[in-house]
Structure 1
Amino acid sequence: MLGSPHVARLLGGTLTGRLPNGMAPVAIVLWTLATGGSIALGGLLSALYGLASGLSQPIKGRLMDRYGQRAVHLPTALLHSGLFLALPVAGPHGGPAFATTIVAAAGLTTPPLEAGLRALWPSVLPSPRLQHAALALDTGTQGLLYVVGPLLATALATAHSPAVALAVTAAVGLVGTIVVATALPSRRWRPAPASPGDGQARRLASPQLVALFGSLTGVGFAIGALNVWAIVMAETHRMEMLSGLLPAAFSTGSFVGGLIYGRRTWPTSATRRLLVSSAAFLTGWLLLLVLPGPNTATAAVVLPGAFLTVVVACAYQTTDTLTPAGRTSEAYAWLILSIGTGQAVGTALAGRLAHHDLASAALPAAGAAFALTILILARPGRAAVERGRHRRPRGARRRRA
């Protein structure tokens, strides 16, 4: 799969371009503290960046479906990087309000690389088996961004300054986006036109898609609660490294799970795999209810991490099946927003329950149980009809999905 034309460039460019998602929140907090601001203000600015980035995803996805990827990726990347470069220069002179405006604008202009890459796979890899492998590897590597990104931002801020960390964040994001946007598949990509008799062409919010996205908020909730639980574990056992080690073990499990899942094709439908993997995702979190020690906890979070990749990959496949032609990028953006919204809620609620050990450990399982319950009740893929979703590059032969 990696030896196929354009694949390594698109995957590497997307991962590079999305590295600021892991770097920016840490760099923003460190810059705020370095300029005399409080940690509360830094946390607020960091949360605002993530919220603005998530909420703007569907709009940018819709624009990609209408005007193509290059027309969206390049302008947003230039604005996004320019705002990060402007923050350490103009931020201190305008006070908290001006810094808040810059950070919010930077979040709003985050390039929609993740949704764009998922929309490209069918045109880059005509073989369903290779598409399956690409989606699994793509999904499995996303979690590593949130391991490498914070470490890189912290190292740059410590060795040089938070301003340097922000500058590198801007440069990395811009370079990665340019690599993707100038690739031939991205330049040529256009969504498939709606079929003449497709009455659902203008309707994205079908009951099945709403149920699917609703279930994914539970998946995001579990991830957000994990991050806070890791801090609770670090304080309880007086081991600061646990706050980073537990999320890193979870992300490593996701990466390994993606490699295993993508190495073979599966006879069952994506919807069936989504249900089974969601049940396994829940089972993994139940191990935390016994309040394990540091070593056991580190090993335990690998299991739900491994099934996270399968859940998300199958959710993308189900979304593609349920989405009207010409709306795939927007649908993928809503999927990303659903997970991000759940993650924010899980983080907020876990923070309020941080002093209750059992409740804090139970929250990831609660989010996973919510996701599985909705999937069982709604079965979002049972009424789906497979259809081609993407326009192939010029000269390429269309294939049925």
Structure 2
Amino acid sequence: MSGMSPRPSYAALFRVPHARRTVAAALTGRLSYGLVSLAIMLTTTRATGSLAAAGTVMALFGAASVFLSPSRAALIDRYGPRRALLPMATLYAGLLVLLAVVAWRPGAPAVAIGASAVAAGACTPPLGPTMRAVWSRLAPDEELLRRAYSLDGVLEEVLFVSGPLLVGALVREAPPAAAVLLSALLVWSGTLAFVLSPAVAGLRPAGAGTARPGRLRQGGRALVRPVAVALGVGLSLGAVDLLIVAFAERHHQRADTAAWVLAALSLGSALGGLLNGALDRRPPLGARLPLTAGGVGLALLAAAFAPGLGTLTAAVACAGFFVAPALTTSYLVADAAVPPGLRTQAGAWVNTAVNAGGSGGAAGVGLLVGRLPVGWCFAVSAAVSLTAALVALPGASASRGAATACPAERSAPDAEDAEPGWGAPDAEVEPGRV
């Protein structure tokens, strides 16, 4: 990549050898995650006739998927994506098919659906963290890697917006379980194409000595900061969804107006992510952690004082503007905190933090919204992100040191010096986040 311009554009990402093929395959598989939650929810509701049962099944599925994510990522680091990711995706897809078959017709037992959902969630393949680990080798140039992570975050937003729309279109013509089958097909076919890509197939696993989960401790406090930011942002965003609905109700607005405010949040996040990747002048990597998390918190604090839906929409869009940069920076700092052979796990911890935060934020604000004014609830949500920004402050002082150096600066060894590990390319592969 030495011939690349020092300030590459987003278009330069797709001139990297094998990048287009690899990204397309990963996006196909990750689209499954954009539609699977709604698909399982609708399928369980139709099969059992109970929203409570559907909520329980979704909570179990989400818990198994989120909290076992670092362990699944450790398998990817230890054995490599071809040996670990494809069997994982095959098992996951097979269990989704089982769930769809069990719940195809009304009257299916909720226990059987729940057991299938938990088993499937436990096997969810970490395509997002693996794709980001692949990008760290495809794009060892610092500027290009930042754009790659920013674009990855924006594309993930698009997947999670388009997935429910695809489910909605499908259930007009078929039972909801058909959407579960589609999710299974997408994740298996996308993962197969992903591991067959030369960019992925030529990467050697780190091996048992390098990829044990305990090795993440060598990242030390440097890994705590990005995980704390991801957790804080996730908690705040998990609360915002319900708070927007509550705000609309208390201001006597139609329920569907909340969808437009949420769309503004996603749009703000997409714009912020694209701009974050395109800017040439920016604070050092470690300093961006507290700045972006603080931006989310301050925008949500402004939402606490919103007198109407218009000002709330503007404040929420501003919060979204900092979301993708905060998460992108978290992934970059986590990458830099660990050796190359542990990057999938490091990314999975960030991913787990934001997803667990989303679930916890929704549950926590559900307890508060009936007891406090909505403005106060927004203020509590803001305080969480602002606290995460304070936790991340030590990263700013070390931002020029090795702890927060871009992965490209400290892990692009010459071929003869490359250590065996996840991300070390085989001779025939040109060296250059689910």
Task: Tell me, yes or no, if the aligned pair for 2:296 and 2:385 is still in contact at 8 Å.
Answer: yes
Deviation at 1:202, TM superposition (A): 6.4
Structure 2 letter corresponding to 1:394: A
Residue number in structure 2 paired with 1:208? 222
Deviations 1:64-123 (A, max 9, x none): 111111222211211222212211322477622221110011111111101101101122
1:67-106 equivalences in 2 (<5 Å) = 67-91=79-103, 95-106=109-120
Residue number in structure 2 paired with 1:332? 347
1:105-116 equivalences in 2 (<5 Å) = 105-116=119-130
Task: Sort the Cα spacing of 1:5 and 1:396 in 2 relative to 1 into closer, same or farther, 3 A.
Answer: closer
Residues 1:41 and 2:56 aligned together: no
Task: Tell me, yes or no, if the aligned pair for 2:297 and 2:385 is still in contact at 8 Å.
Answer: yes
Query: Distance between the aligned counterparts of 2:47 and 2:244, measured in 1?
Result: 28
Residues 1:372 and 2:372 aligned together: no
Identify which of 169, 187, 195 aligns with 1:173. 187
1:180-191 equivalences in 2 (<5 Å) = 180-190=194-204
Structure 1 letter corresponding to 2:229: S
Task: Tell me, yes or no, if the aligned pair for 2:231 and 2:356 is still in contact at 8 Å.
Answer: yes
Structure 2 letter corresponding to 1:223: L
Structure 2 letter corresponding to 1:388: S
TM (normalized to structure 2)? 0.84
Structure 1 letter corresponding to 2:232: G
Task: Sort the Cα spacing of 1:154 and 1:292 in 2 relative to 1 into closer, same or farther, 3 A.
Answer: farther
Query: Distance between the aligned counterparts of 2:43 and 2:209, measured in 1?
Result: 51
Deviations 1:219-256 (A, max 9, x none): 11011011111221343333222333222221121111
Query: Distance between the aligned counterparts of 2:96 and 2:312, measured in 1?
Result: 37
Residues 1:30 and 2:50 aligned together: no
5+ residue gaps, structure 2:
1-12, 413-422
Residue number in structure 2 paired with 1:13? 25
Residue number in structure 2 paired with 1:265? 280
Deviations 1:124-151 (A, max 9, x none): 1232222111111001222222211122
Deviations 1:360-392 (A, max 9, x none): 322431221121121125658556444217423
Structure 2 letter corresponding to 1:75: P
**Identity of matched residues, %:** 31
| Partner SS state of residue 341, structure 2 | coil
Residues 1:315 and 2:330 aligned together: yes
Residue number in structure 1 paired with 2:143? 129
Task: Sort the Cα spacing of 1:189 and 1:379 in 2 relative to 1 into closer, same or farther, 3 A.
Answer: same
TM (normalized to structure 1)? 0.90
Residues 1:388 and 2:411 aligned together: yes
Query: Distance between the aligned counterparts of 2:206 and 2:92, measured in 1?
Result: 29
Query: Distance between the aligned counterparts of 1:194 and 1:89, measured in 2?
Result: 38
Task: Tell me, yes or no, if the aligned pair for 1:73 and 1:111 is still in contact at 8 Å.
Answer: yes
Deviation at 1:324, TM superposition (A): 3.1
Deviations 1:270-305 (A, max 9, x none): 111222222222222122111342233223222121
Deviations 1:29-57 (A, max 9, x none): 21122113311110111122121111121
Number of residue pairs aligned between Structure 1 and Structure 2: 396
Task: Tell me, yes or no, if the aligned pair for 1:225 and 1:363 is still in contact at 8 Å.
Answer: no
Task: Tell me, yes or no, if the aligned pair for 2:304 and 2:377 is still in contact at 8 Å.
Answer: no
| Partner SS state of residue 3, structure 1 | coil
Task: Sort the Cα spacing of 1:62 and 1:302 in 2 relative to 1 into closer, same or farther, 3 A.
Answer: same
Query: Distance between the aligned counterparts of 1:195 and 1:21, measured in 2?
Result: 32
Task: Tell me, yes or no, if the aligned pair for 1:204 and 1:327 is still in contact at 8 Å.
Answer: no
Deviations 1:161-196 (A, max 9, x none): 211111112122222222212111111123568999
